[in-house]
Amino acid sequence: MKLKNYTKNVFAENTVFVHELMPLEYRVALDVLSVWLSAFPPLRLCCEQPALLSELKQRLPFNINQPWYSGLWLEPQRLNWRSSLEEFSDCLMSGARLGVLLSLLPARLLPGRQDWSGEPLGEQLGGLQILQKALLQQGFKTTTMQGLHTGQAILYCAAAKAARKHGRFALADRLEFAARQNYTKPMSNTWCACCALILAVRQ
């Protein structure tokens, strides 16, 4: 194959066009997960939302065969999350890392998110808390649980928009900066987050 054609094919295979990008919340979470898991290959992937695969392939390689030294679980589903968690528990050894990304109820309002299929566990009442407890029971200790696109950030953005509308541009700038500072926060200190990111270690 000519170099020009090879380069074109590789570029096309690994490119996510702008109109196909996932909502920012998911891209930020995948960036964090990529950094956290990259030092622990090979990786076992369980992606239960196909829409996330194209973004994921740009960031992390994963193996289909054991052994695995880390795991990535994207969008656990209400109907089968227990069996997926048991599989991770069976195949990951002590010290292995597991990253989990869940949509929460406010995510349904995100542009580009409404057409996703399935019944995400995180969008069910108490789903995040149920999963967190089950992770501990299966031997995974949560080291970090962050909310993305928090209610605080949404409130600051709305206030900034109102300030600009009334010509208070300096105030709007400060409010927008505060929104960025509050975009991600520990789940214990936030409300109405769109997504939750869990980083856990196998005990």
Q: What's the average model confidence in pLDDT over 23-48?
A: 94
Q: What pTM was estimated for this model as a whole?
A: 0.86
**Rounded distance between C-alpha atoms, residue 123 and residue 58, angstroms:** 26
Mean of the per-residue pLDDT values for the chain?
Answer: 90
Percent residues over pLDDT 70 in the chain: 90
CATH architecture, domain defined by 22-202: 3-Layer(aba) Sandwich (3.40)
The one-letter code for the residue type at 39 is A
* pLDDT score for 114: 79
The average pLDDT across 108-133 equals: 92
> Mean pLDDT throughout 109-130?
92
Q: What is the pLDDT of residues 60-86, one digit of tens each?
A: 888 888 899 999 999 999 999 999 999
Per-residue H/E/C for 85-136:
HHHHHHHEEEEEEEEEEEECHHHHHCCCCCCCCCCEHHHCCCHHHHHHHHHH
Q: For residue 80, what pLDDT is reported?
A: 96
What would the mean pLDDT of 112-119 be, rounded to a whole number? 87
pLDDT at 195 over 50: yes
Domain-by-domain residue ranges, the chain? 22-202
* DSSP notation for 142-200: EEEEEEES-HHHHHHHHHHHHHHHTT-HHHHHHHHHHHHHTSEEEGGG-SS-SEEEEEE
Of 136 and 10, the structure prediction assigns the larger pLDDT to: 136
pLDDT for 130 equals 97
pLDDT of residue 11: 39
Read off the pLDDT band of 2 (50, 70, 90): very low
Angle at CA of residue 97, ends 91 and 98, nearest 5° = 75
3-class DSSP state for residue 140?
Answer: strand
